[in-house]
Amino acid sequence: KKRIAVMTSGGDAPGMNAAVRAVVRMTIAKGCESYAIYEGYEGMVKGGSLIKRMTWEDVRGWLSEGGTLIGTARCMEFRQRAGRLQGAKNLILNGIDALIICGGDGSLTGADLFRSEWSGLLEELVKTGELTAEQVEPYKYLAICGLVGSIDNDMTGTDATIGCYSSLTRICQAVDFIDATAYSHSRAFVVEVMGRHCGWLALMAGVSTGADFVFLPEKPPGDDWEQDMCRIISKHRGMGKRKTIVIVAEGATDNKLNPISAEHVKEILAGKLGLDTRITTLGHVQRGGNACAYDRMLATLQGVEAVDAILESTPETPSPVITINENKIGRKSLQESVKLTQDGAKCIANKDFEGAMKLRDREFEE
């Protein structure tokens, strides 16, 4: 009987609870034992009451809930080998031999590293007398599966991450509210949105709200961006538009990688165009609230697939990450997805913006 643990890690995202619910119930439906690790990797390192057996009823009502009800953390200890050693010990003490992690690329990288180190960690636990050879014997192999939970939609290889559409919906609602007041006063608003190094939320929010101008990390504007922006906005105003919305991704930069701040954009709109301009930084409002229908559906289908993937996994199969491409739930190599995501970030750091886009759209070798 497999004991499958689920945990959420990194920044919370709407739909994580739906994913946990699906994993718990599918685990039970398949005749396995379900566990939740509370507080992300921190719970794994600390163990004790943070690793809890889950029943069907424990996740009742979780489908629509925002945030993550089993808690999350950005855990420093797990980044050290000593923390991972402690985590391995706690899994074994709880009889856990499979792990489903819902988190962003950082959390999933940690998971893959953990799996690759697993046998070394067990050897060390026996050598140092923390566990006996008999205790570790049944746990020669740890099955791991990743679910991508992040509002940023920043993972290569999947079309949507759990949470990104809820966040996009929230941003659109907020911009709609701002629209009303902007229109009334004929004002300009610079709206800063989250996304870390990824511009998906900003770009899609711009498309969905009809913003006048958008700043993205992946496609920095040219040298003359100040004039370009003013020209476009003047044109819109000339066509009778009473409101101006400029969306700035939090990771946006110019083509020399200097950050483009909302404050700077405001100064230009006010100084060069004479527009009465305000800044709204949406902040964590974008991460909170209920999961939208798409995220509930995505998290549920992917949670079910994750349990199937665990049950089919062998020591030879690489850890999978559950994906969605062209509306089909699938599996890809966790390691490859994470690597391509990180390679994309490196391209941007090297000002190779085209390279970053190519990597993002790249077909996987399977």
Q: Which is nearer to ligand F6P, 151 or 292 (CB)?
A: 151
Number of residues in contact with ligand F6P under rule CB under 6 A:
10
Q: How far apart are CA 69 and CA 183, in angstroms?
A: 39
Tell me whether residue 185 is annotated as binding.
no
Output the smallest distance, CB 274 to ligand F6P, in A. 33
Q: Per the structure block, which two tokens stand in for 27?
A: 């685990």
The DSSP code sequence of 1-12 is --EEEEEE-SS-
Q: How far apart are CA 218 and CA 104, in angstroms?
A: 19
- At how many degrees (to 10) do helices 105-127 and 81-93 cross? 70
Residues 6+ apart with CB under 8 A from 137: none
Output the smallest distance, CB 255 to ligand F6P, in A. 22
Tell me which residues in 297-326 interact with ligand F6P (CB under 6 A): none
Tell me whether residue 152 is annotated as binding.
yes
3-class DSSP assignment, residue 132: coil
Tell me whether residue 145 is annotated as binding.
no
Tell me whether residue 74 is annotated as binding.
yes
Tell me whether residue 236 is annotated as binding.
no
Contact criterion met (CB below 8 Å) for 80 and 149: no
Interacting residue with ligand F6P among 5, 9, 11, 244 (CB under 6 A): 11
Residues 6+ apart with CB under 8 A from 19: 6, 8, 102, 147, 149, 162, 299, 300, 302, 303, 306
Q: How far apart are CA 354 and CA 234, in angstroms?
A: 29
Tell me whether residue 105 is annotated as binding.
yes
What Å distances lie between residue 102 and 107, 109, 111, 281, 326, CA to CA? 8, 12, 10, 27, 21
Q: How far apart are CA 155 and CA 167, in angstroms?
A: 16
* DSSP-assigned beta bridge partners for residue 144: 99
Output the smallest distance, CB 147 to ligand F6P, in A. 15
Amino acid identity of residue 177, one-letter, is F
Catalytic residue among 152, 154, 212, 295: 152
152 is a catalytic site residue: yes
Interacting residue with ligand F6P among 103, 195, 199, 221 (CB under 6 A): 195
Tell me which residues in 135-164 interact with ligand F6P (CB under 6 A): 150-152
Amino acid identity of residue 273, one-letter, is L
Q: Which is nearer to ligand F6P, 271 or 283 (CB)?
A: 283
Asked if 196 interacts with ligand F6P (CB under 6 A), we say: yes
Tell me which residues in 91-110 interact with ligand F6P (CB under 6 A): 104
Output the smallest distance, CB 135 to ligand F6P, in A. 37
Asked if 71 interacts with ligand F6P (CB under 6 A), we say: no
Q: How far apart are CA 320 and CA 174, in angstroms?
A: 36
Tell me whether residue 355 is annotated as binding.
no
Largest CA distance in the chain: 78
Tell me which residues in 278-297 interact with ligand F6P (CB under 6 A): 287
Give the catalytic positions in this structure.
152
Residues in contact with ligand F6P by CB under 6 A are 11, 104, 150-152, 194-196, 250, 287
Annotated binding site for Mg(2+): 105
Annotated binding site for ATP: 11, 74-75, 104-107
Annotated binding site: 11, 74-75, 104-107, 150-152, 187, 194-196, 250, 278, 284-287
Annotated binding site for substrate: 150-152, 187, 194-196, 250, 278, 284-287
